[in-house]
A and B are shown apart, each in its own frame.
Chain A
Amino acid sequence: MGCVPPCSDPPSSENSRANKTTKQQLKLLLEITAELKDRLEQEKLYLAEAQALSHTGSWAWDLTGDNPKLVHWSEEMFRIWGFDPQDGLPTTAEISRRIVPQDLDNVKEGLEKSIHQKVDTCDDFRIMLADGTVKYLHTNRHPVLNAAGEVVKLFGTSIDITERKRNEDALRRSEAYLAETQKLTHTGTFVGDRTTAPLYWSEELFRIFGFDPKDGLPARDQPLERIHPEDLDRFKQAWARAVQEKVDSDLEYRIVLPDGTVKNVYGLGHPVLNANGELIEVVGTTVDITERKRAEKERERLRQLEADLAHINRVSVMGELAASIAHEVNQPLSGVVSNGSACLRWLTRDSPDIEEAREAASRIVRDGKRAAEVIARIRALTTRTATPREKLDLNETIREVLALIGDKAKRKSVIIQARFADDLSPVSGDRVQLQQVVLNLVMNAIEAMSSVVERARELVITTRDVDAGQVQATVEDSGIGLDQDTIGRIFEHFYTTKSGGMGMGLSISRSIVQAHGGRLWAAAKDGPGTIFNFTLPRWGE
């Protein structure tokens, strides 16, 4: 802050004195004196008001004695420094004590400079009042010289700039926050004219475009040169849209830095118009989305990988089930062939039996459809593409899996008991994925019972509504069971207890259930065997 121009000397009081002593003259003099006194009082009042309004106090030191003597300390000074005018003028020591120790040397330095070098000085310093309040003061000092050129007085003003200082600090802080936020969010701000020439660029925007803020604003074409050639036309079109159509315009484009680095950015421009609706400038943001793009790509890659693995798991389980599936298709086909033969026989008998033939033919239709359904299920389960979430009857979903697995269970002498709740709430899910989960659990259960000879090989599948808007399915076997250590690990990738297992089935199943907003967990049974549970949110939950 610059110094206020030196204040003029206080009006000198050494002036004319009447030496005519007529009564009239004396009376006049008294009147004039009274009027002057009034006026002076008035002026003093105005000055005090002005000082209070501008938070400016004035002071004067007499330097003619051995020690500097405070001779003037305005009312506003008392208020600023927190001294009570009733106590009289503060002492030098009292004043020094109120100055914040860190700033005291500075103040003394300024004082001495004004006195010894006879120049105006100014300082910003802090004072601390008795109650702990800290104030920022701006002080101007002006030495008053006598005819001999000696400093006789030091006159000055002190302005309470606490408020301004606070606003400045707040502004500085908010600017710092803004810069920090821009850095964090990789968001730069720009203001440009209609031709794209920069009028203002935030620090972050310099960083994004790879320019040095020290070199000043780039020229109009400099940023354009850094836009990927394939995207430049689109950029210009987007800018033109903001300028000509006077609408917000956004664009994803690439910039290429001199070192070859390519960045993906997202720009948004907003036209600023004057009262006549004419474009003044374009204000906007440019966000560096390179990292986000990369993360998105990575997520997509992982998602694809997971989908591939899930597909491999499904196909490999279906491979294990090939014989069972062949059987499930063969059964209805067998029915078709027998009924077909029978139908022909009923028709070609000496006395054709049309009713028997009709019944046989309708069974052909039924069995043919049944075979087609099995094939459709296999096709759905081996498909790679994701099916949409839909409202599902979990019982039906599980039943379809059991239709594929029935023969395998039979050959492994496993008795499957389906204990389905009658009024099970529908769930929301991907039919194929959920069938994959059931398939994995049931196959594991059958496998777990393959070495059991001393008790029935029983597989119990239960469904029921549970609390908190969930539907729960339980797959329980009477197999060899799992120890606690194994139960803790079975959901890990590539963990398997089977000689030919990939160790993916359960981890994939758990991912699927979790993606549906449910849980999949295993528990040991009191008796031999293991229980697998999974929950799914009810439809609409």
Chain B
Amino acid sequence: MAKSQEFDAVIAIVDDDPSVREGLESLIRSAGWRAETFASALEFLARPRAEPPSCLILDLQLPGLSGLDLQKRMAEVELEIPIVFLTGHGNIPSSVQAMKAGAVEFLTKPVEEEELLHAIEEAVERDRHSRQQHAEMRELRDRYESLTAREQQVMQQVVSGLLNKQIAGELNISEYTVKIHRAHVMSKMYADSLADLVRMAESLGIRLHKRSAE
């Protein structure tokens, strides 16, 4: 069940009941993940960590800060951990609220082994995906940052669909110079084609250039 590349994924369990906590911990470890346990939401927030866990198994009814409160608090500080909610009673309004706020799954105790492990897998997958996206984004941004100011200007106008000649006019430089900048942009951004560069610009949120009035 656990893929080798997921072996190092850490699953956090937050539940104030030791029976539940210890049972889940053992089950999750037996499935090949690492597990961390917390008796309250505050304890979870207070624990210092290098890497956030890949999945959070969260009890809905926690003393003090509730599961939903924690979900909200995490969103506020942009802590993106896929959450699998557990509850003793199937509380529909709470489950709707939790799912709307992006929970992976909402399970009722005692939780079915397959259901739980499946939900964790999905959470871990989601986490892996989002970590990958984050990494790609970071890479893209690094590449973009490596462009000179002029190259960034040229890139913006290229992805906006301007011809080299038009760009030269806009920037009041020679068409040849535009070509040089353009080649630098393509190679620094590791863009294979113009279409590729346009996608990158979109990811980076670069605004399209508006041609100045002629």
Contact = CB atoms under 8 A, between A and B. Distances in A.
Contacts of B161: none
Contacts of B17: 331, 334-335
Given A326-B89, A331-B109, A336 B23 contact: yes
Interface string A213-229: 00000000000000000
Contact of B20 (A331, A342, A346): A331
Given A337-B110, A356-B30, A407-B61, A330 B22 contact: no
A72 interface: no
Given A326-B89, A345-B31, A407-B88, A338 B110 contact: yes
A342 B30 contact: yes
A342 B88 contact: no
B24 interface: yes
Nearest to A327: B88
Contact of B19 (A323, A327, A370, A415): A370
Task: Tell which of B29, B62, B110 has the most Cβ of chain A within 10 Å.
Answer: B110
Interface in B173-198: none
A315 interface: no
Interface residues of B, number: 22
A330 B110 contact: yes
Interface string B73-90: 000000000000000110
Interface residues of A, number: 31
Given A330-B109, A331-B109, A339 B27 contact: yes
A415 B63 contact: yes
B113 interface: yes
Interface string B5-40: 000000000000111101110110111000000000
A411 B93 CA distance: 14
B26 A334 contact: no
Contacts of B204: none
Contacts of A415: 63-64
Contacts of A341: 27, 30, 113
Contacts of B18: 335
Interface stretch (A17-25, A121-129, A359-367, A418-426): A359-367
B111 interface: yes
17 contacts: A334-B19, A334-B110, A337-B23, A338-B23, A339-B27, A341-B27, A342-B23, A345-B27, A345-B30, A346-B26, A346-B30, A356-B30, A360-B30, A363-B26, A367-B19, A407-B61, A407-B88
Given A330-B88, A338-B111, A342-B27, 14 more contacts: A332-B19, A334-B19, A334-B111, A335-B19, A336-B19, A338-B27, A339-B27, A341-B27, A342-B30, A343-B26, A345-B27, A345-B30, A356-B29, A410-B61
